[in-house]
Amino acid sequence: METWIELLIGFFLANVFGYGGGPSSIPLMYREIVPHYHWLSGAEFSNMLALGNSLPGPIATKIAAYVGFDAAGWMGVLAAEAATVVPSAVALIVLMRILQKYKQSQVVKGMTLLVQPVIAVMMLQLTIQSSKESILSIGWIQFAAIALISYWLIQRRKVHPALVIVGAFVYGGIFLGR
Amino acid sequence: MLKTYAELSLAMFRTGILGYGGGPSTVPLIRHEAVSRYRWMADEEFGEVLAIANTLPGPIATKLAAYLGYRLKGTLGALVGLLAHILPTAVAMIALVSFIDVFSSSRIIHGMIEAVVPVVAVMLGQMCYEFGEKAVKGLGKYMALACGVIAFVLLEWVQLHPAILIAIALAYGSVHFKVMGKLKETRKRKEERRHGDMD
């Protein structure tokens, strides 16, 4: 079979069974990339993941780009990326269109409302998880200082979060990079 | 016309190259662009889109980028949103292969990433607060708190899959106003009966 078709199938399967965003699909992608299609060796996969984690942006699409290019050049990138993002994007657009049609109905209004506390709790979990990880790696004093300053900047001074993140990069590169 | 495309590309480019920790930690950045900065949609709608997106498999940030683009400019918008979001880092990934060792062992880069995590945590916390606020506004203090506690217990202790919990919330939500209406009616009837007894 053509490699790009295999890429299409492999990345489609890995992402369509991954719930909870890109990071949770990593083990599924590993299964397709290493033991199943042998696009990368285990060591290459870990190296690639390390590089992917040190770059910003969604992780699934970075893996797709790397593996696609490695296995079949730019055609491979296109196939792997399309298989990763298109099915779920189309599904979301179709579902939202259906819901928008019935926007004024009490049914959809109730659904929108009841989902808010669930989202709040999921955000709470993500907050706790990333705080914990951060405290473990840089200590609670650094964590608290950076968190308080960024809260003040974003919430009180209305600074664009992008600028705050760039500021954090500079700070981290200079003071935490030793 | 073109301005929308330019804004969309810029917003998705920014969220793509500044999100660390994969898609889920990019969500607050996307929300900032879509709700606070460009006002493409209300916060409630964003919450709804996010919830529906969470019930679907696949990467989360790209789903949101595609949907935002689609809502603004149809299919072409979806494509622009997606490409602006994923292309820069995808290309960087391919271009940096030869520097893989430099990158993954650099202390400076590790330091930079570590300093961003608390900022992300603050933004996630902020989103949590604001969605909680919306729940309180719509459901009332007690009902919102009860829902939150139930959701927390199911997710954290029962380890229920978030997609299943959202599906349950959507299912109950679809009959919520009917249930509330019925409750009000029975309460009213009881009240009337009591008044009737007194007469």
- Residue A52 scores a pLDDT above 90: no
Minimum-distance CB partner of A69 among B63, B89, B94 = B94
Candidates A51, A85, A154, A87; CA nearest to B84 is A85
Provide the shortest C-alpha distance from residue A1 to chain B (in Å).
24
CA gap B120, A2 in Å, rounded: 41
Interface residue B38 vs chain A (CB under 8 A): no
For A135, the closest chain B residue by CA position comes to B118
Nearest to A81 by CA among B62, B50, B31, B146: B62
8 Å CB contact of B113 and A172: yes
Residues 83-142 of A with CB under 8 A from B: 84-85, 87-93, 95-96, 99, 106-127, 130-131, 133-134, 137-138, 142
Residue B39 has pLDDT above 80, yes or no: yes
**A-B contacts at Cβ under 8 angstroms:** 366
Taking only the tens place, the pLDDT of each residue in A90-125 is: 999 999 998 888 878 888 888 888 888 988 898 898
Residue written as token pair 């889109």: B49
Nearest to B24 among A69, A126, A131 (CB): A126
Which pair of tokens denotes residue B169?
């919330």
What's this model's pTM, rounded to 2 decimal places? 0.80
The DSSP call for residue B34 is: I
Give the residue, B144 or A100, on which the prediction is more confident: B144
Q: Mean pLDDT, chain B, as a whole number?
A: 87
Nearest to B62 among A16, A61, A168 (CB): A61
For residue A178, the model assigns a pLDDT of 67
For B103-121, what is the mean pLDDT? 82
Question: Token pair for residue B133?
Answer: 């606020």
Q: Distance, in angstroms, between B71 CA and closest chain A CA?
A: 8
ipTM for the assembly: 0.81
Mind telling me how many Å the CA of A134 is from chain B's nearest CA? 6
Determine which helix (DSSP H) or strand (DSSP E) holds B65, and give its type and residue range.
helix B60-95
pLDDT tens for residues A112-159?
888 889 888 988 988 898 899 889 989 999 999 999 999 999 888 888
List, in order, residues 6 or more apart from B33 with CB less than 8 Å away: B11, B12, B14, B15
Supply the DSSP symbol for B37: I
Task: List, as one string, the DSSP characters of B108-175.
Answer: HHHHHHHHHHHHHHHHHHHHHHHHHHHHHHHH-HHHHHHHHHHHHIIIIIS---HHHHHHHHHHHHHH
Tell me the C-alpha distance between B33 and B8, whole Å.
9
Does residue B131 contact residue A116 with C-beta atoms inside 8 Å? yes
Which residues of chain B make contact with A162, given a CB cutoff of 8 A?
A: 14, 18, 29
Three-class SS string for chain A?
A: CCHHHHHHHHHHHHHHCCCCCHHHHHHHHHHHHHHHCCCCCHHHHHHHHHHHHHCCCCHHHHHHHHHHHHHHHHHHHHHHHHHHHHHHHHHHHHHHHHHHHCCCCHHHHHHHHHHHHHHHHHHHHHHHHHHHHHHHHHHHHHHHHHHHHHHHHHHHCCCCHHHHHHHHHHHHHHHHCC
**pLDDT for B199:** 59
Nearest chain B residue to A105 by CA distance is: B174
CB B121 within 8 A of CB B20: no
Query: CA B3, CA B20: separation in Å to the nearest integer?
Result: 28
Among A100-104, A151-155, B15-19, B172-176, which is the least confidently predicted range?
A100-104
